Amino acid sequence: MIMNKKKSEEGLTVKKEENFSEWYQQLIVKSELADYTPVSGCIVFRPTAWGIWEKIRDEVDKKIKKMDVKNVYFPMFIPESLLKKEQEHVQGFAPEVAWVTQTGDAKLNERLAVRPTSEAIMYNSFSKWIRSWRDLPLKYNQWSNVVRWEFKYPIPFFRTREFVFNEGHTVFATKKQAEKEAMPIINMYKEILEKYMAIPGFIGKKTDKEKFAGAEYTLTIESYMPNGKAIQGPAFHHDGQNFSRAYDIKFLDENRKEKYAWQNTWAISTRMLGVMFAIHSDNKGLILPPKLAPNKTVIIPLLFEKNKKVLEKAKEIFKRLSKHNPILDDRSEITPGRKYNEWELKGIPLRIEIGPKDLEKKQVIIVRRNDGIKKEIKFKDIGKEVDENLTEIQEGIYKKADKLLKSALDKAENFNELLKKSGNKKIVLVPLCKNPECEDWIKEKTKGAKTLNIPLEQKPIKGKKCIWCKKPADYWVYVGKSY
Amino acid sequence: MIMNKKKSEEGLTVKKEENFSEWYQQLIVKSELADYTPVSGCIVFRPTAWGIWEKIRDEVDKKIKKMDVKNVYFPMFIPESLLKKEQEHVQGFAPEVAWVTQTGDAKLNERLAVRPTSEAIMYNSFSKWIRSWRDLPLKYNQWSNVVRWEFKYPIPFFRTREFVFNEGHTVFATKKQAEKEAMPIINMYKEILEKYMAIPGFIGKKTDKEKFAGAEYTLTIESYMPNGKAIQGPAFHHDGQNFSRAYDIKFLDENRKEKYAWQNTWAISTRMLGVMFAIHSDNKGLILPPKLAPNKTVIIPLLFEKNKKVLEKAKEIFKRLSKHNPILDDRSEITPGRKYNEWELKGIPLRIEIGPKDLEKKQVIIVRRNDGIKKEIKFKDIGKEVDENLTEIQEGIYKKADKLLKSALDKAENFNELLKKSGNKKIVLVPLCKNPECEDWIKEKTKGAKTLNIPLEQKPIKGKKCIWCKKPADYWVYVGKSY
C-alpha cells in the first residue's frame, strides 16, 4: 500500500505536447486537484481545487453584489410538470436529467428532476413575487450544484455530471433594461478570467443553433486549449420573454397595464477550473496563477547538516511572508530534490530555498514555477521581491496563454481554406449566412468544427459570401474544433 | 393581483403566545425569509435568510480554517452499495433517502442516493488517500445541500427535506487525538450561536438511544424554543473506528503496524436559522441579531412637506452609516407609519427617523426594533450611538433568550414531578439509568418528552435512582418535549 502511495507521488509520465488527454488526467490526479469516485462522471474536488473555486466565487460575489444582485437558494428538485413548461428549455435538458423516483421505500407520484439549471423552479416563485413595476428589477443569484447526465466520455472538471456554478437570474420591466446588463456581466466574467485565472478569451454572440435552450441570444467567452480545441466559458443569456410567458411572470406597469417581464441568466462554472489547469500547466505538473493559489510560496531549508540556524531563518521568513500563506517544508526524511519535484507537481508559484551558504551571504534563492527563473535575493528585500515576482508570474502566464490564443486566430473566405486551417488547430473567422444547415455541413465536412461565436464588433460583411452555401453572408463568425 | 401583494405585506394576524405554529409560518412568509415551493417540504431561502446563512458560513469557515481544516467538495450522489457499508448508519438514514433511478430515458443499474450526509462517499476516498501516519490528521469540511425525506409535517427551516449544512470529517491516528477535537469544535459552535445568532444553549452528551447513527457518542448544543420545546442544534460526533472499519480506512503507524483510523464528524445546519427567527421575533414581525442582519438600519426621512433639506440630510446620514449597509426609504407614495410597519415586519434592527423639526434641533430619532426604545440623537453623535445601540440590541436579545431558557430549566427526582414539569414546558434534569427502555417509557407516559443531553459536568449521582425503573441511576440527563 505504501508502494501505491509512492507511485502516485511520482511525476507525470507523459508529455503535454505528445498525449494531451493522458497528460491532463495524470495532472489532475497526481497534483491532487481531484479524484475519481464510484459515481461515474462525478469527481471529488480536493482542497486545492476547491480553495481556488471558493476564491473565484468570492470575487464574482463581490462584483455582482456591487451590481445589486442578491444571493438566494432554491430547492434542487424540480417537479417534472414544472420543468416541462418551457418547451425549448426542456428539450435541451431532458435527455440529461437525473430523476428521483423513490424516497425511502415509497414511489413518488411525480418524478423530481435534480436541477440541471434552476429556471423552472425559480421562475415559478418569481411569478408569485412580481406584481408591479415597483418589484423590478429583481436580481437574484445562486451558487449551486447541478447535474447533467452527459453520455460523452467524462473528463475531470471539463465534463462532469455534477458540477457547481453561479446562476444569475434577473428580471426587468423592459427589453432595453434587460439588455443593458449584458456587457457589464460578460465583462465582469472576462475580468475574472483574465485577472484571476490568467485565461484570455474572446467575447461574441452564439449563432441561433448554438445558443442556450430557451434564450433569445447568448453571449459567451470562448477560450483556447493547448490541444487546439476551443472551449466555451462563462455565458450571458438574454431570454427575452420566453420564460416569462411560459412561467407567467407578469407585472402591472406604471400605467397599470399588464406586461410580461424580460429576463437574463448568466453563469460561470467549475468547468473553467479545468481550462485553467490545462492551459498553464507543464510536464512537471501544475502551474497556478498566484492570485488563486491557496499557498503562494514554499520555503525549503536545506538541512543536510541539520543546521539549526538555517531552520530558524526559514521560520522567520515563513512568518514574514504569512500574507502569502506559505508552506514551510522542514521534513527531514525527504531530500530537497524530492521536495522540489513535489511542490512543482503541486503548482506552488514560488519556491524559496535557503542553505548554510545563503545564510552567510544573507540571501535566499527564489525559483519561479512558471518559467524556472532563479534569483538570489537579499534577506532585506524578500518581502518586496516575493510580491514583485508573484505579480510577474501572474502576468507571465497570462501573456503566454494570450500568445497561444492569438497564434491560433486565423481567417478564411473559402471552405477549403477553413477545412485546412480548422484541421490545423486554428480558430477561423469566416463569413456565414444564418441558415443552420450550413453549420451542420461545416461540422460534418470538417469532422467537428463548429461555430464558436460572432464577434460583437464586425468587420464589413457586405459582398461576402457564406463559406458553405455561397449565398450572401450575414456575419463573420469564429469556427473551430471545440469541447 | 396587486391586492394579493398588499395582503401579503400586511402584518402578522396571530399572536406568538396564542398560536405559535401559525405565527411562525406567517412570520417566515410575510417577512420574506422563505417561501413554499411546488416541491413538498422544500423551501426557497430568500435574500435575507440566505444572506444570514452566508454570514454564519463565513464565520464558521474562518474559525475552522484556523484549526487547519480544509474545504473540499464531494459528489452528492452515493451508490446504494456504498451507503450500505456501515450498518447502523444506513439503518438510520435509509427510510429518508431520495433515490435517483433514471437518467434521461435510461434506467440506472444501481440506485444513487441523494446524500443525506456524506460519510459513505467521503470515507471511500479517505481509504484511498490515507496510507501512513504522515497522512494524518486529515481534516476536511464541506458545505453541502443534503436531502432527508422526512415524513413528519415539514416546517420552514426547522424541518425541510432539503437543507444545507457544514459537514466536518476529520481522521486521526489515535482515539485520544480524535477526542481532543471535541471541545474546541462544540465550543466553536457555541460561540457562533451565542455571539452571532444570540441563541443560548446547553452542551451535553446524547444518550446511546439518541446519538447519531454510526457514532460512538454525540455531543450537542440544545436550545429552547418559545413554545416550550427543546431543539437540537450543532453536533459533534466521535465515530471511534466504526466507519474506518466499514470503509477500510487504515494506515501504517510509526512502527509500520497497520491500524484503523479514528474519526469525528460535526455539523451546523440551516435548521438553526428557524430557531433564531422563532426565538427573537415578536408579534410585529422579525427580530434579527444586528451582527447577522444584512441591513442593520433603515433611515426614514419624514417628507410630508417634500422638504428637500430633510432628504439631503437623510442621504448624508446614509453615507455616514455605510458600514452598516443601511436602507434609505425615500418612497413618497407610502406614509411613514406604513414604512415603520414594513421594516419592523422585516426585522431591521434600528430605525432612524428624521423630520423638519429634527433638522432644526440637529438631531434624529432612533428606534430600536427589539425593545422599542426611542432616543433623540444629535447629528454629531450618530456614528457612535448607532454602534452602541446595535451592540445593546445584540446583547439585549441574547439576554432575553437566556432568561427564557434559564426559566425553563428545572429538576425532578420522581416521575410524577417530571410528568408535571415536562407537561408545563420545562426542561427537566433527572437521574436516569442506561437502559434505553426507560427512555421509551418516559417518552410514552409524558406524551413525547425525551432525553436531550447529559451535562458534561455531572452533579453527584451516587445513591440516586433512575426516575423510571428506580434502579441505581447512571447520570443526570435533561428531559423535555423536543422537535
Say yes or no for a CB contact (<8 Å) between A5 and B35.
no
Tell me the torsion sign for CA atoms B465, B468, B471, B472: negative
**CA triplet B54, A68, B291: central angle to 5 degrees?**
35
Q: How far is the C-alpha of A392 from the C-alpha of A371, rounded, in Å?
A: 10
B46 vs A contacts (CB less than 8 Å): 72
Pairing of strands A202-205, B258-260: unpaired
Contact B114 A131 (CB under 8 A): no
Give the length of chain B: 483
User: CB–CB of A79 and B121 under 8 A?
Assistant: no
CB contact under 8 A, B73 and A50: yes
Q: Which residues pair with A103 in a beta bridge?
A: A106, B98
CB A129 within 8 A of CB A138: yes
Q: Which of B2, B44, B131 lies nearest to residue A2, judging by beta carbons? A: B131
Measured between CB atoms, which of B45, B144, B149 is closest to A104?
B149
Inter-chain touch A44–B94, beta carbons under 8 Å: no
On chain B, the residues whose CB falls within 8 A of the CB of A3 are none
In chain B, the residue whose alpha carbon lies closest to the alpha carbon of A45 is B73
Q: Which residue of A has its CA nearest to B252?
A: A2
From B432's Cα to the closest Cα of chain A, the distance in A is: 34
Average pLDDT over residues A218-223: 98
**B-chain residues within 8 Å CB-CB of A37?**
74-75, 121, 124-125
Contact (Cβ atoms closer than 8 angstroms) between residue A126 and residue B46:
no
Determine the Cα–Cα distance for residues A84 and A94; give it in Å rounded to an integer.
9
Residue B100 to residues A111, B76, B111, B118, B121: CA-CA distances in angstroms? 10, 11, 6, 16, 16
Q: Nearest C-alpha of chain A: how many angstroms from B47?
A: 5
So what's the pLDDT on residue A303?
76
Chain B contact probe: residue of A37, A80, A90, A169 with most B CBs at under 10 A? A37
DSSP summary character for residue A103: E
Which member of B72, B95, B103 has the closest CB to residue A50? B72
Range A136-156 burial, b when 16+ CB lie within 10 A, else e? bbbbbbbbbbbbbbeeeebbb
Chain B residues within 8 A of A114 when measuring between CB atoms: 100, 114
Chain A residues with CB-CB distance to B50 below 8 A: 70-73
Q: Do B42 and A97 touch (CB under 8 A)?
A: no
Instruction: State which H helix or E strand residue A392 sits in.
Output: helix A382-408
Q: What pTM, to 2 d.p., does this model score?
A: 0.95
B411 to chain A, closest Cα gap in Å:
39
Q: Which residues, given as ranges, of chain B have pLDDT below 50?
A: 1-8
Give A71's contacts in chain B (Cβ within 8 Å). 47, 50-51, 54
Question: Which chain B residue has the Cα nearest residue A36?
Answer: B125
| Closest CA in chain A for residue B122 | A44
Please answer yes or no on whether A101 and B96 come within 8 Å at the CB atom: no
Q: What is the structure's pLDDT at A93?
A: 85
Nearest CB neighbour to B124, from listed A38, A72, A111: A38
Among A103, A105, A132, beta carbon nearest to B2 = A132
Q: How many beta carbons lie within 10 A of that of residue A482, not counting itself? A: 20
Q: How confident is the model at residue A380 (pLDDT cuts 50, 70, 90)?
A: very high
- Retrieve residue B126's grid coordinates: 479517505
What's the half-sphere exposure (Cβ side, CA atoms, 13 Å) at A4?
A: 8
Cross-chain CB nearest to A76 (options B4, B53, B145): B145
**pLDDT at A414 (0 to 100):** 95
Give the confidence band of A4 by pLDDT, cuts at 50, 70, 90: very low
Residues of chain B found within 8 Å of residue A167, distances taken between Cβ atoms: none
Q: How confident is the model at residue A8 (pLDDT cuts 50, 70, 90)?
A: very low
**Residue B184 near residue B171 (C-beta atoms within 8 A):** no
Nearest CA-CA distance, residue B251 and chain A, Å: 9
Of A77, A121, A132, the CB nearest to B5: A132
- Minimal CA separation from B474 to chain A, in Å: 36
Q: B127 CA to chain A: closest CA distance, Å?
A: 11
- pLDDT (tens digit per residue) in A76-127: 999 999 998 877 778 888 889 999 999 998 999 999 999 999 999 999 999 9
Question: What is the predicted ipTM?
Answer: 0.95
Closest CA to B45 of B29, B27, B21, B67: B29
Of all residues in chain B, what percent are helix, strand and coil, respectively (each to 5)?
A: 40, 30, 35
CB atoms A100 and B97 under 8 Å? no
> Looking at CA atoms only, how far is residue A7 from chain B in angstroms?
12
DSSP-based three-state secondary structure for B341: helix
CA-nearest of B291, B270, B86, B276 to B161 is B270
Beta bridge partners of A459: none
Q: Cβ of B39 and A71 within 8 Å?
A: no
Going by C-alpha positions, the residue among A457, A440, A458 that lies closest to residue A449 is A440
Give A47-67 pLDDT, tens digit per residue: 999 999 999 999 999 999 999
* Cβ contact A72–B50 (<8 Å): yes
Tens of pLDDT, residue by residue over B399-444, are: 999 999 999 999 999 999 999 999 999 999 999 999 999 999 999 9
Mean pLDDT of A126-130: 97
Q: Which helix (H) or strand (E) holds B243?
A: helix B242-246
The sign of the torsion formed by the CA atoms of B77, B82, B83, B89 equals negative
Q: Is A257 exposed, middle or buried (0-12, 13-18, 19+ CB in 10 A)?
A: exposed
Residue in chain B nearest A129 by alpha carbon: B5
* Alpha-carbon span B203 to A432, nearest angstrom: 70
Taking an 8 Å cut-off on Cβ atoms, the answer to whether A98 and B95 are in contact is no
* Chain A residues with CB-CB distance to B79 below 8 A: 38-39
* Nearest residue in B to A108, CA atom: B98
d(CA A339, CA B252): 22
Cis before residue B460, ω within 30 degrees of 0? no
- Cβ <8 Å between A2 and B132: yes
Q: Do A54 and B75 touch (CB under 8 A)?
A: no
Predicted local distance difference test score (pLDDT) of residue A6: 44
Nearest residue of B to residue A61 by CA position?
B54
Q: Which one of A38, A101, A121 has the shortest CB-CB distance to B37?
A: A121
For residue range A381-437, what is the model confidence (pLDDT) as tens digits? 999 999 999 999 999 999 999 999 999 999 999 999 999 999 999 999 999 999 999
| Interchain contact, A77 vs B162, CB within 8 Å | yes
Residue of B nearest to A58 (CA): B58
CB contact under 8 A, A252 and B2: yes
CB < 8 Å to A73, chain B: 44-45, 50, 53, 164
Give B331's contacts (C-beta < 8 A, 6+ positions apart): B339
